[in-house]
Structure 1
Amino acid sequence: MTRRGKGRFGGRGHWRGRGRGRGGYGRTSSESVDPEVPGSQGAETEGTEEGGQEEQGEMEGTVLKEGDVGITEYISSTPGFRAIIKLRYSDFIVNEIDEEGKLVKLTNLDVDPTLIQAMEEKEGEEGEDDSGLEGVLSPEQKEMLDDFNANPDGNRTIDICSPDDKDTRTKLHKVVKELYKNLESDSFFENETKFIRITAKGKGNRAAGHFNRQRPEWPTGCGNYCRFVLYKENMDTIEAIYKLSKFFHINKNMFQFAGTKDKRAFTSQDVTVYRVKAERLASANRHLYQIRLGNFRYVDRPLKLGQLSGNRFTIVLREVTGSEEVINTALESLKTHGFINYFGMQRFGTTSIPTYTVGKELLRGNFKEAGELILQPRAGEKEYLTQCRKSWWKDKNCMQMLSALPRKYNIERALLEGLIKYGENNYANAFQMIHRNTRMLYIHGYQSYIWNCVVSRRLKEFGLKPVVGDLVYKGDLKDLATKDENQPSGANGNTEDSSNSSRLTPAVVTEETLSQYTIQDVLLPLPGFDVLYPENKVGMWYTELLAADGLTVEGLKNPNKQYALTGRYRRLIVLPNDLKWQLYMYSDYTKQLTQSDLDLIQEKPEPTSDPDGNTKALKIELSLPQSCYATMALREILKIDTSSAYQITLNPSIKPDQSATAEVVTETQNQQQTSDT
């Protein structure tokens, strides 16, 4: 039987300290990489603020609570205990698990000498092996190219009539690439005749109807991408990539990764970069703060979003109040029965208007309402921001608000720039100024809200067992992936390769097959027009919830493909893999109780328990599939609110305040104390 939560309140903590691994509670937890949400996975990127209020122009004091986003149930009835999550960002370590199931760890900061040697050998072979290229150029052509290569003039071009044979054309391009280092070639048509144009490198022009971009020199036969481990501290993946692109003076789109990782954490993940040598990448280790690169190798293909199996988490809970018996019982239950695979609170934002309300208006085509929700005043902000928003709400002066708004509020700024460009009432076009990934954050937030609500009702009515009509699947959910036009791109702009011409579908439980499945096989779809729905009452609940918001399943096939939702499948219950835990005693809250990859490289001693310590900590290690929220696993064992608003009240370093968040948290604590008695 599932156990119900109390729909406790949430919000954002505002206190932060200084120094490595220090600072107050800022985020509730992490999620195993979710490629749908940029900077998700508890990794919201800076400036992804959203929200508003219910009454126009008025400040709304209520903060988001778990019950508002459908999070109400527990699997077990075991008692929970209180603890602080992420008192220090060193209390949260995330290691990516790659697509082959291998743990991604930073183990070496240096470039393997054999890698350098192999690259040099490839470069040495470039000018030596001309076999197969003889006879491609006539003596006259060779003489002209020799002269052009020796004196590369940006205003000069040489046009050669393109051979009819494809192999010969390929060899001609190869001759230019390998024998003439200062030149480059491209094909074009003129009067229905195909030519090959030779230009000085970087001086290609549009006269041929094609623009040549200068490409980095790279030896033939060496993988075009350098794959490395990115280790970062207290910054999200997007911020780290931005720092690397600035340091190396290259476009951020040259980098690719499988998913974003948490900001308030120590994290390690694989990244690929196009045609940048390992030695150059390693030079960043001497200059960049809180970033380290290592484990370099050359590969043929870039990483794509979603190209991972999951994440390994090492989490320290501090100020633990439970007895050892209570803690062990709760964790044994998590190990055996798992947790409800809810989308965590960070999926829905942290203000009084969650992301899903903006997403609902976008799906309904109400762009003006969606835009106003983003720009309206909201509680909990600094006074100058509140006045900035109120001034806009009163006068709708976009230019004035844009000039007053700090640059980190990139969503609001992009929307305002769109309104200035397209007209103050043209919200539909103005939304195009917001990065596509961010726009989809709102849409997918609505999907997540519906999914959470259906899950809670499913568990309340049918419990922890399959029923006839449920959708089930025992294999890898990637085999069920639909081709989703709304898959977001990363810094590289690539989308997840989810095309699957032989797509499998879940099975529907019948009376005859009921005994073959457990609750861990049950799936529920995220709403969309291209997924199956349960063939029982659960399927009807989707229709009811969508109808209450003025939507239909068929309507999710939006004529505007940017806002169309195909849907996908998600497991109802998740079992953590390789779950381990250990209790520590300590007195100094700054004492580090984890070992990061960098700590291991630097051979720092393993943390130990202080026998004279007066405070208890719990270290938990577990692996989760991608798109699973570690917060929801912690929620199952703690039986307390995972929101930052509640967590900051457990931190003795934080002084009480009179904000709306503090008032709501006080009310929540009073309710909990009443229920405990």
Structure 2
Amino acid sequence: MEEDVHSPGCIYSLAYLNDHIGFCGTIKNSPSDFVVTEIDMSEQLVTESIIDSFIEFSESPEEQKRSCQHKKQKTVPRESYLEEKHFTNFSGFVNKTDPPEQDITVDIDTVEEVDDECGPEKTDILSSLLEEPLLESLTAFACSIKSELSSGIEAATPSLEFSLGSFTDKDQRARIHSAIQQTFPFLLTATWNTEIIVKPNLEYRELCQLVSEEEVENFFKFLDAKLVNSTFSFKPDLSKEHRKAVHHFISKKFGKLVETKSFSKEDHHGQQNTVITARFREKSGSLKKKRRADCPDVSDTFTAFMLRKENLETLEAIGCLSSELGVLPSDFSYAGVKDKKAITYQTMVVKKVTPTRLKEIESRIQKKGMKVYNIRSVHQHLRLGQLKGNQFDIIVRDLKTQSGDLDANIKERICEATENVKKNGFVNYYGPQRFGQGKHVQSNQIGLALLKEDMVKAVKLLFTAEEEDNPVNRAKRYFLQTEDVKSSLALLPEYKVRERMVLRALNRYGVNPEGCTRAWFSIPHSMRIFYVHAHCSKVWNEAASYRLKTYGSQVVEGDLVILETDAAETTSHSDRVHVVTASEEAAKTYALHQVVLPMIGHNIMYPSNKVGEWYHEMLSRDGLQSCTFRISILQLNVPGCYRHILKYPRNLSYEVLEDHSDGLESKDDRKEWAKQSLKISFVLDSSCYATVCLREIMKYGY
């Protein structure tokens, strides 16, 4: 039993709560047999039947004109000055004395010579901001750093710093920051409270090891200036490996601000040379400009819509929509992920897309199994969990009694099972779709590798093929056998959104630890965290089975319960978690439906009984005893949460349908003369699984 429970993603060997016999049948014969309808926060069903009660949003000509007049003056995003107690690269600072917006290209071959000395001619701007004695001290400090940089001294540099003193006026501090970085690019500045600190810029030193100091100085000035539409070109470089090293360094250190690309360029003698050119990234990615002629500024636009999808994963549908709309998958928000092999209805919000633009793609996405309704303008995105639950309308086909239960009446078995689950509930396991349907590798195994920060293993697991011979598995096998990223990408179908994102990043950064890390970071946060949550869910399933096996339905000392409260809804569960005492156990103060178990993370408490001991043993077993559940390199934060052991279906109703066969069977097979199906409907809270509820009702692994 215990061994089965520990098998990846296993659900069939997990515990049952009720003791009825159950029955057999099949679900999800087709998407129309499994319909999921989201229930929004106002407890309304999100479905086609209520679409007519809404007025679709459309922009009047006056509104379009007002919207387009709200155009930003700068297309390159401006970042605020650092006002925190730590140092950062100066490229995060703003130059508030920028010249007017203009098109400019800074090329190292045409830029004026820069004086390498630290003389007065380089401090004209600073002389108007700092008093002469302070300016002289700063200049002397800069010259000492420049001297060390030229001599190659490394040991003393990191510990050097210089204080300019306190400046209470924020605008004055901003001008000083910018002036220092334009005058001395090899320095960086930061503010501690109101004190300005100057230190050596170690990234300047690192880049000097790859290109000339002249190029480095002008590149850093280019970064600080942040001129709209400007580019910067390094000197011609014939070495592909050296260019690759420069690309990787700039991407690693300044990738959020600029992007680089190699271009073939003809010199004065007519020879072709290759140069690396850098340009500023747009805040929303290069797709931002696509199909936006009707209104240049849509960064603050949010459009809500109801999505009907059929036989598509939620993230797969988002990938298709983002491609059609020319935005990023991360620009979509939703309240919950819905089943793939089903017809589902849910609300989504996309930013930077107008209602008019969304309506334009309706006909194209219908061919991919999607429809959009109730398109309207809203003011903000959706949050995960921002729903009351889901309604499920399911057909279970090919009804049969359990093996050995031949004389039973199927309708009686259905009635007995549904009444038991109505009364007693079901174990609130995560369903098998949480872990994927793979036999060799499931999502939770990838999540464990990510938690252990083994990025290469996580990539290999993602591309582990199943036994079936189809284009997806052929592409995965080819990649693992050859590591030929380009050919694998060509073999992989377009709808495999996640895998294609990873391959594109691997093609750019290489199949190595750093490249695999960047590949995982290239996919949207919701996709990255999905795998980690899958592992946490698997652990929760095992913990629930252990808790029920060890203590049954009795609430014991050390259990965790959620206290009812009249506090605002924003009160976190952590504020309401209570540890059951010995006296409360004796008095039977609490019932099993109040007991919760933690989802592992950095901000949860464990039960103070055998279940808590089990959690710690499990963490050790999985190699997570020292895991902080914060994966900074992937910007993943896993605080954990609490989940009730039991849940109850609401509004449960059912009907047995007769599917007559027109007498095709022989007269001796009268028991099989009519096939029967079960039409069952119920409502579950958010994050509950209909497949798990059906498993409890049927007592049958489907």
For the aligned pair, the TM-score class normalised by the smaller chain equals 0.5 to 0.7
Q: What does 1:426-505 align with in structure 2 at a 5 Å threshold?
A: 426=513, 427-475=516-564, 504-505=575-576
TM-score calculated relative to the size of structure 2: 0.59
Partner of 1:674: none
Equivalent-residue separation in structure 1 for 2:347 and 2:306 (angstroms): 5
Aligned residue in 2 for 1:629: 689
1:214-253 deviation line (CA, Å, top 9, x unaligned): 7787899xx9544332223333334444554555566655
Question: Does 2:380 align with 1:301?
Answer: yes
Instruction: Tell whether the 8 Å contact from 1:313 to 1:621 is kept in structure 2 after alignment.
Output: yes
Amino acid corresponding to residue 541 of structure 1 in structure 2: W
Q: Distance in 2 between matches of 1:286 and 1:382?
A: 33
CA deviation digits over 1:616-669, x for unaligned, max 9? 111111111111111110110111113xxxxxxxxxxxxxxxxxxxxxxxxxxx
1:84 to 26, 36, 46: 26
CA contact (8 A) 2:339 2:433 kept: no
Indicate conservation of the 8 Å contact 1:585/1:615, yes or no: yes
Q: Which residue of 2 aligns with 1:135?
A: none
C-alpha displacement of 1:330:
0.4
Instruction: Work out the CA distance in 1 between the residues paired with 2:322 and 2:503.
Output: 27
Could you tell me whether the CA contact under 8 Å between 1:480 and 1:569 is conserved in 2?
A: no
**TM-score (norm. length: structure 1):** 0.61
Count of aligned positions: 483
The 3 A distance-change label for structure 1 pair 353 and 619 is same
CA–CA distance in structure 1, aligned partners of residues 506 and 331 of structure 2:
31
| Conserved 8 A contact 2:463-2:476 | yes
Q: Do structure 1's residue 506 and structure 2's residue 577 form an aligned pair?
A: yes
Task: Pick the aligned partner of 1:269 from 313, 324, 346.
Answer: 346
What SS does the aligned partner of 1:535 have?
coil
State the shift of 1:474 in Å. 4.4
Counterpart of 2:647 (choices 571, 574, 596) is: 574
Q: Distance in 2 between matches of 1:126 and 1:285?
A: 21
Q: Deviations over 1:572-592 (max 9, x none)?
A: 111111111111111379xxx
Measure the CA separation in 2 of the matches of 1:537 and 1:247: 53
Q: Does the 8 Å CA contact 2:8/2:445 hold for their aligned counterparts?
A: no
Q: How does 1:332-371 map to 2 (within 5 A)?
A: 332-349=419-436, 350-371=438-459
| Cα distance in 1 between the residues matched to 2:686 and 2:304 | 21
Partner amino acid for 2:459? G
Q: Which residue of 2 aligns with 1:235?
A: 312
Give the Cα–Cα distance (whole angstroms) in 1 for the partners of residues 375 and 387 of structure 2: 18
State which drifts further: 525-534 or 562-571: 562-571
Aligned partner of residue 268 in structure 1, secondary structure: strand
CA deviations on 1:497-524 (whole Å, 9 max, x unpaired) are xxx7896241111133342311111100
Which residue identity lines up with residue 622 of structure 1 in the other structure? F
For residues 8 and 510 of structure 1, what CA distance do their matches in structure 2 show? 29
Q: Specify the code of the residue in structure 1 equivalent to 2:349.
A: T
- Aligned counterparts of 2:573 and 2:562: Cα–Cα separation in 1: 16
Cα distance, 1:425–1:93 mapped onto 2, change above 3 Å: same
**Counterpart code for 2:337:** T
Partner of 1:422: 509
Change (3 A) 1:124 1:448: closer
Aligned counterparts of 1:249 and 1:412: Cα–Cα separation in 2: 19
Q: 1:639 maps to which residue?
A: 699
User: Match of 1:523, SS?
Assistant: strand
Structure 1 residues 479 and 357: CA distance shift in structure 2, 3 A:
farther
Secondary structure of the structure 1 residue equivalent to 2:541: helix
Alignment equivalent of 1:537, drawn from 604, 607, 610: 610
Displacement after TM superposition at 1:462 (Å): 0.4
Query: Quick check: which has more Rg, 1 or 2?
Result: 2
Q: In structure 2, the residue corresponding to 1:76 is in which secondary structure? A: coil
Task: Say whether the 8 Å CA contact 2:520–2:634 is kept in structure 1.
Answer: no
Larger displacement relative to structure 2 (320-329 or 550-559):
550-559
Kindly indicate whether the alpha-carbon contact (under 8 Å) linking 1:70 and 1:452 is maintained by their aligned counterparts in 2.
Answer: no
Root mean square deviation of aligned Cα: 4.4
8 Å contact from structure 1 (residues 218, 275) kept in 2: no
- Separation of aligned partners in 1, 2:596 and 2:322: 40
The amino acid across from 1:450 in the alignment is V
Specify which of 360, 372, 386 is matched with residue 460 of structure 2: 372
1:257·1:303 contact (CA, 8 Å) conserved in 2?
yes
Aligned to 1:41: none
1:141 aligned residue: none
- How far the C-alpha of 1:285 sits from its partner, in A, is 5.5
Q: CA 1:210–1:573 in structure 2 vs 1: closer, same or farther (change >3 Å)?
A: closer
DSSP-derived class of the 1:321 partner: strand
**Contact 2:56/2:376 (8 A) holds in 1:** no
Alignment of 1:133-212 (within 5 A): 181=69, 185=73, 205-206=228-229
Structure 1 residues 282 and 477: alpha-carbon distance in aligned structure 2, compared to 1, 3 A threshold: farther
Give me the whole-angstrom Cα distance separating, in 2, the residues matched to 1:107 and 1:389. 42
What is the CA distance between 1:432 and its match in structure 2?
Answer: 3.1
Residue 615 of structure 1 pairs with residue 702 of structure 2: no
SS for the counterpart of 2:549 is: helix
Deviating more after overlay: 453-462 vs 246-255: 246-255
Residues 422, 480 of structure 1: CA spacing in aligned structure 2 closer, same or farther, 3 A cutoff? farther
Q: Distance in 2 between matches of 1:423 and 1:126?
A: 45
- DSSP-derived class of the 1:319 partner: strand
Q: Which moved more, 1:562-571 or 1:278-287?
A: 278-287
Cα separation, 2, equivalents of 1:87 and 1:125: 48
Separation (CA, whole Å) in 2 of partners of 1:6 and 1:532: 26
Query: CA offset at residue 267 of structure 1?
Result: 1.8
Classify 1:432/1:192 alpha carbon distance in 2 versus 1 (closer, same or farther; 3 Å).
Answer: closer
Give the superposition deviation at 1:441: 2.8
Number of the residue aligned with 1:107: 49
Q: Does 1:562 align with 2:562?
A: no
Amino acid at match of 2:421: L
Amino acid at match of 1:520: H
**Aligned residues with identical type, % of pairs:** 31
AA matched with 2:228: N
Q: Is the 8 A contact 2:456 2:512 kept in 1?
A: yes
In the alignment, the residues of structure 2 paired with residue 335 and residue 325 of structure 1 have an alpha-carbon distance, to the nearest angstrom, of 15
Per-residue CA shift, 1:39-77, capped at 9, x if unaligned? Answer: xxxxxxxxxxxxxxxxxxxxxxxxx786x4684210011
Distance 1:355 1:291, change over 3 A: closer
How many Å separate the matches in 2 of 1:251 and 1:227? 16
Give the letter aligned to residue 395 of structure 2.
Answer: V
Residue identity in the other structure for 1:334:
V
AA aligned opposite 2:24: R
User: How far is 1:310 from its partner?
Assistant: 1.3
Distance in 2, matches of 1:368 and 1:320, equals 46
Is contact 2:561–2:577 with CA below 8 Å preserved after alignment? yes
Taking a change above 3 Å as real, the CA distance of residues 310 and 549 of structure 1, as seen in their structure-2 partners, is same
Question: For the structure 1 residues 110 and 540, does the alpha-carbon distance in structure 2 shift closer, same or farther, using more than 3 Å as the test?
Answer: same
Three-state SS of the structure 2 residue aligned to 1:512 is: helix
Gaps of 5+ in 2: 79-92, 104-226, 232-279, 402-409, 663-671
Kindly tell me: are residues 521 and 294 of structure 1, through their superposed partners in 2, closer, same or farther at Cα, counting changes over 3 Å? same
CA contact (8 A) 1:105 1:268 kept: yes
